[in-house]
Amino acid sequence: MKVKIISRNPDDYMRETKNELHKVKRNYDPDLHPMEATREYVRALNATKLERVFAKPFVGNLDGHRDGVSVFGKHPSHLSTLCSGAYNGEVRVWDLPSRQSTRNFIAHDGFVRGICYTNRGDRFITIGDDKAIKFWNAEKPEDEEDEEPINTILSRTSIHGISHHRKSNIYATSGEVCYIWDETRSEPLKTLKWGVDTLHSVSFNQVETSLLAACASDRSIIFYDQREVKPLRKVILTMKSNKLAWNPQQAFNFTVANEDFNLYTFDTRQLKNPIKIHYDHVSAVTDVDYSPTGKEFVTGSYDKTVRIYEIHKSHSREIYHTKRMQRVVCVGWSYDSKYVFSGSDEMNIRLWKAKAHEKLGVARPREKANFNYQEALKEKYAAHPQIRKIARHRHVPRHVYNAQNKMRKIKDKEQKKEGNIRKHSKPGTKPFVPAKRKTVIKEEV
């Protein structure tokens, strides 16, 4: 007689300690799981709905300014420190975890036009309408009455923007001309100009650190190299640009905030037309700032909203607004890529989560695994109509909703008119011109 014996190795199914999870054997053969796709779809749908349920982006506000907030300055090495300037010349330094102001003083007569920290983070520089460039110690003095600048430089011309070199002691200011300064000198190293009235924004490239660009009042964007004695190139757009931000991960790409309610992402190697046009704002865009990852950027506008865009998409993935928030003048993205902050006309600085549904605080390993699983499901079924509809839906203020409908009707009528003209004209005389080709008027070298 034959006897068959079933033998099992306890190591295959027993836990070594009580703290470990039970071992589970799974067979991934799809024939054994005919309802797998259905289950995954339901889980993805539930995850998308829960994302919208837990979407509470507002973290808190920083209250203390007595006039509208005009500019931000981010500390290069301290995530918890933020510096802000106001219309009345006041500068405040904030401790973000406690949401308290640690320092405040009147720095300038009139608007504070720009704030930037040095590359070492031991000082910060402020500029204002009084043509003064002032250096301040980053550390709080022992006596508040001793709040005096370390150094003050009076410029020959008005100053509207400032940007510091990422690695050296050099910084640039923009006004009637573009000056290149050294922290140790009271006279500019170079004067770069290209026959424009005003340069109201300047920004150093974070990767190719010798390059910088400025937005001018004649609707142009001018590129400089601080190693050269004259500007490199000039691009004229259909309308004026208010702010420029370089992508911190891609040396060639930058985004400008424009007066025509749109943002344009350009590649410096090909400036004839933008690589992407970003829509959705219904008023002039005032500020733009990139996330440290270089994959997204945040914008502020006169339509009283803050929007977050992905660099390769034309429409925003998120819109933030409150009933009390007025025109947004300045925005910023924290260096840990988790928070954005906005300053507006009604004297408030607001902190927002970069991902509205993200849980604050420390997540346990099983929570992290669950979050990653839900994100993978949402990405897998993102194209499904029902999931896409839930994920894209956002409530917007009534004035924004009405303005979007009005702009949509105007755009449809313009397209219809151009189509009719092309239809009733001689073939080839009225070619179709895409929106990207209409943006840039000319390029000068």
Query: Which two three-digit tokens encode residue 241?
Result: 């640009």
pLDDT at 93 over 80: yes
- pLDDT tens readout for residues 406-425: 999 999 999 999 999 999 99
pLDDT at 143 over 80: no
Confidence of residue 102 (pLDDT cuts 50, 70, 90): very high
**pLDDT, position 3:** 84
- What residue spans define the domains of the chain? 74-286
Of 103, 100, 96, nearest to 78 by C-alpha is: 96
**pLDDT, position 5:** 82
In which region does residue 153 sit, left (phi positive, over 0), alpha (psi from -120 to 50) or beta (all else)?
beta
**pLDDT, position 30:** 85
**pLDDT, position 66:** 93
pLDDT mean over 238-243: 93
**pLDDT, position 140:** 85
Whether residue 341 contacts residue 352, with contact meaning beta carbons closer than 8 Å, is answered with: yes
Whether residue 284 contacts residue 302, with contact meaning beta carbons closer than 8 Å, is answered with: yes
For domain 74-286, the CATH architecture is 7 Propeller (2.130)
Whether residue 61 contacts residue 96, with contact meaning beta carbons closer than 8 Å, is answered with: no
Of 237, 204, 207, nearest to 221 by C-alpha is: 237
Please report how many Cα atoms fall inside a 13 Å half-sphere around the Cα of residue 119, on the Cβ side: 13
**pLDDT, position 195:** 78
**pLDDT, position 373:** 95
pLDDT at 146 over 80: no
pLDDT mean over 62-81: 93
Residue in the block written with tokens 């590649």: 267
Residue ranges of E strands in 217-354: 220-225, 233-237, 241-246, 253-258, 263-267, 276-278, 285-290, 296-301, 306-310, 318-320, 328-333, 339-344, 348-353
Backbone angles phi, psi at 400, to 5 degrees: -70, -40
Confidence of residue 8 (pLDDT cuts 50, 70, 90): confident
> Between 112 and 21, whose confidence is greater?
112
pLDDT mean over 192-216: 89
Confidence of residue 9 (pLDDT cuts 50, 70, 90): confident
- pLDDT tens readout for residues 346-369: 999 999 999 999 998 898 999 999
Residue in the block written with tokens 């024939």: 31
Please report how many Cα atoms fall inside a 13 Å half-sphere around the Cα of residue 103, on the Cβ side: 23
Strands 220-225 and 233-237: antiparallel
Beta bridge partners of 296: 310
pLDDT at 104 over 80: yes
Cα torsion angle, 108, 113, 119, 121, sign:
positive
Query: Which two three-digit tokens encode residue 319?
Result: 């819109």
**pLDDT, position 21:** 82
Question: For residues 87 and 192, what is the distance between their CA atoms, to the nearest angstrom?
Answer: 28
In which region does residue 367 sit, left (phi positive, over 0), alpha (psi from -120 to 50) or beta (all else)?
alpha
pLDDT at 329 over 90: yes
**pLDDT, position 85:** 95
DSSP state string for 80-135: TEEEEEETTSEEEEEETTTTEEEEEEE-SSS-EEEEEE-TTSSEEEEEETTSEEEE
Starting at the edge strand that comes first in sequence, how are the strands of the sheet with 318-320 ordered?
285-290, 296-301, 306-310, 318-320
pLDDT at 442 over 80: yes
pLDDT mean over 8-30: 83
Looking at the chain, the whole-number percentage of residues with pLDDT higher than 70 is: 100
> Lowest-confidence range among 29-38, 139-148, 225-234, 295-304?
139-148
Label residue 442 exposed, middle or buried (CB < 10 Å: 0-12, 13-18, 19+).
Answer: exposed
**pLDDT, position 220:** 92
